[in-house]
Amino acid sequence: MDKYRIILTVEERARLEHMTSSGKAAARRLTHARVLLLADELHGEACSDAEIISALGTSVRTIERLRRRFVTEGFEAALDHRPQPPRPDKVKVKGNVEQKLVELACADPPRGRCHWTLQLLADELVVLGLVDTISTVTVWQALKKMTSSPGSSRPGVFRPTRTPSMSGAWRT
């Protein structure tokens, strides 16, 4: 593997030294600054990766990634961490798919079944062509947030039923 060489300018080195001496930055940013200072080949003797690891307690992979980002993307990119990619929406079942799912759950189950299962509902949505693939967990989450009647204030498709007490009186 090619080793990327870190060569800091005078301004970059002064900025990193000020940042590490003041300690007023995020821990990851300070660690990256210290790695860059120790790996700098222009000003003094550059430390090897093993020496940087023992001095700062980082991993080999962190140092390799930092060297590569410094050389390929620049000084600022090496200091800052790369933000996480955007997450997909938490709710995957929306609009007409959601409406059809509720209609299916409220309808009579397929012949030979006494009730709908999550897997049956997921399979039926795929057969109808509303989704390409869907997991049972996604179906469960979509049904969980539904209300069983428009006037109900309690969430959930399945409402708790009243159970008789041991004395024979109804308990709520």
Determine the residue type at 120. L
The helix (H) or strand (E) run that includes residue 170 is strand 170-171
CA-only gyration radius of the chain, Å: 30
Predicted confidence at residue 1, as pLDDT, reads: 45
Give the model confidence (pLDDT) of 140-171 as tens digits: 988 887 655 555 555 555 556 666 666 666 55
Residues written for the chain: 172
Average pLDDT, the chain: 83
* DSSP secondary structure string for all residues of 41-109: SSSSPPPPHHHHHHHH---HHHHHHHHHHHHHH-HHHHHSPPPPPPPPPS----HHHHHHHHHHHHSPP
Give the model confidence (pLDDT) of 48-103 as tens digits: 889 999 999 999 999 999 999 999 999 999 998 777 777 766 667 788 888 899 89
Predicted confidence at residue 145, as pLDDT, reads: 73
d(CA 127, CA 108): 17
d(CA 22, CA 80): 17
| Signed CA dihedral, 51, 56, 60, 62: sign only | negative
The span from the first CA to the last CA of the chain, in angstroms, equals 70
Nearest to 76 by CA among 33, 46, 40: 33
pTM of structure: 0.52
